[in-house]
């Protein structure tokens, strides 16, 4: 069985200067690049919305960050962001995207958002990622990226619920924190549901040891 690195949404719109900037969102990129260099099986996700997407406040005529009462539970309406093909949807230029094996896009349906890389926000529609990982023999995912309180949380929780072991890289995630407790609460919920937290340096140390260990058959 194999480990897969999932790098969530390191896109211009979620980094400083972007329309939905995560504070210090770009500061994790050097660590993410090291992780990408260490894991041969890696997936980059991209939030990839059509124009007039249901998560855009503008498409409902409401102000950004207001709540859409038409979804259950009510969902945050965002500024237009990560429009497919736009510069804001591109990976941040410092991210070494060439190192990744797969690029996986989500939120592509106009009427259904997808925070998680596994299940869309209706909680049942599969993106296909679980099937891809299972068919590759993956039983453990390492999750990093943006944003802790939205797409990282949703991806990590769904991975657990779908039966994967989940490690969240604590120093390679950053959150939006619209409400002061959002980031802390997200971390608590991930822990409660069985996600393990690790530091990127520890993961790289154990990766190096395991990749040269005879038990893994590499040497
Ligand atoms: C995200 C809000 C809207 C995320 C995506 O990547 O965390 N947040 N769309
Ligand atoms: Zn989005």
Q: What is the pLDDT of residues 141-159, one digit of tens each?
A: 999 999 999 999 999 999 9
Pocket test for ligand 1, best of 8, 11, 20 (most atoms within 8 A of CB): 20
Residues 54-74: tens digit of each pLDDT: 999 999 999 999 999 988 889
177 vs 25, 31, 181, CA distance in Å? 12, 21, 7
Number of domains present in the structure of the chain: 1
- Distance between first and last Cα of the chain: 18
DSSP symbol at 214:
G
CATH classification at residue 213: 3.40.50.850
Residue whose CA is at the smallest distance from ligand 1 atom 4: 151
Assess if residue 60 is contained within a domain: no
Q: Per-residue pLDDT averaged across 199-210, rounded?
A: 78
DSSP symbol at 208:
H
Å from CA of 37 to ligand 1 middle: 25
**Residue 195: exposure state from Cβ atoms within 10 A (0-12, 13-18, ≥19):** buried
The SS3 call for residue 72 is coil
Q: Which domain holds residue 208?
A: 3-50+92-218
Assess if residue 75 is contained within a domain: no
Assess if residue 9 is contained within a domain: yes
Whether omega for the bond prior to residue 35 falls within 30 degrees of 0, making it cis, is: no
Assess if residue 67 is contained within a domain: no
Its pTM stands at 0.94
Assess if residue 132 is contained within a domain: yes
Choose between 179 and 26: higher pLDDT.
Answer: 26
């Amino acid at each position: 069985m194999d480990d897969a690195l999932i790098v969530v949404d390191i896109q211009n719109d979620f980094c400083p200067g972007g329309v939905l900037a995560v504070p210090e969102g770009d500061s994790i990129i050097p660590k993410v690049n090291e992780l990408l260099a260490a894991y041969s099986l890696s997936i980059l996700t991209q939030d990839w919305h059509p124009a007039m997407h249901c998560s855009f406040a503008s498409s409902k005529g409401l102000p950004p960050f207001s709540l859409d009462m038409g979804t259950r539970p009510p969902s945050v309406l965002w500024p237009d962001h990560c429009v497919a093909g736009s510069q804001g949807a591109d990976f941040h230029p410092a991210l070494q995207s060439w190192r990744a094996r797969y690029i996986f896009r989500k939120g592509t349906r106009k009427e259904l958002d997808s925070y998680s890389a596994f299940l869309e926000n209706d909680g049942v529609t599969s993106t296909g990622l679980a099937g891809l990982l299972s068919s590759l023999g993956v039983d453990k995912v390492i999750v990093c990226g943006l944003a802790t309180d939205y797409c990282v949380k949703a991806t990590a929780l769904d991975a657990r619920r779908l039966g994967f072991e989940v490690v969240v890289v604590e120093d390679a995630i950053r959150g939006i924190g619209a409400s002061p407790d959002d980031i802390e609460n997200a971390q608590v919920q991930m822990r409660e549901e069985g996600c393990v937290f690790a530091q990127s340096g520890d993961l790289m140390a154990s990766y190096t040891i395991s990749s040269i260990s005879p038990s893994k058959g590499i040497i």
